[in-house]
Structure 1
């Protein structure tokens, strides 16, 4: 696969990287299915992290908070490594959901 995968990788570097990758991937001539796939995955991970993190913070339990952070770190690593390898592997548990919700990106 000879596609430019830099935007797919950039998408996993904070929510700002995801927004930059989204903007740079809008050009119809250079739009890549690989980059769009990883932008959707990264956006889903970050938004889920922020949304669910709000509620987990009320648990006031270090075990719940630790499990939450570890879970999302594993999802992030899984997606990031797939982008580095140039593969379009769905993130476990939530990947299919992210692809459906953000299909217009």
Structure 2
């Protein structure tokens, strides 16, 4: 039985060495795969970043037509579109009229005033979006035409 136990011990030791070698190879393959994956992920992230920069470079650039037009329609009563175009005085006028309208709405006067800045923002948003890019740029950013 001693020889038989010795054979089992040798076989177990060989199996352990084989398992150890297989685990070592597997870990090396896993490291290699992880390295390739991280390199591909980094490359993809760099490409995405470059594409995003290219796509969004026009958003804050010279022509702000789409941004200002949508903001004028949505937040026109607050004058956000005026502030983005650089018209601080006109933006504060719209904001002030809106605040005044809400403050006096309990008196009934504000109910009439509350629609004025909304209508102005809606009309300006539509005008901004229907103009060509060049016409918008020349009229509102270079020519500094503050109203309509």
Give TM-score scaled by structure 2 length.
0.33
Give 1 or 2 for the bigger CA radius of gyration: 2
* Greater fraction of residues in helix: 2
**Higher RCO structure, 1 or 2 (CA under 8 Å, sep 6+):** 1
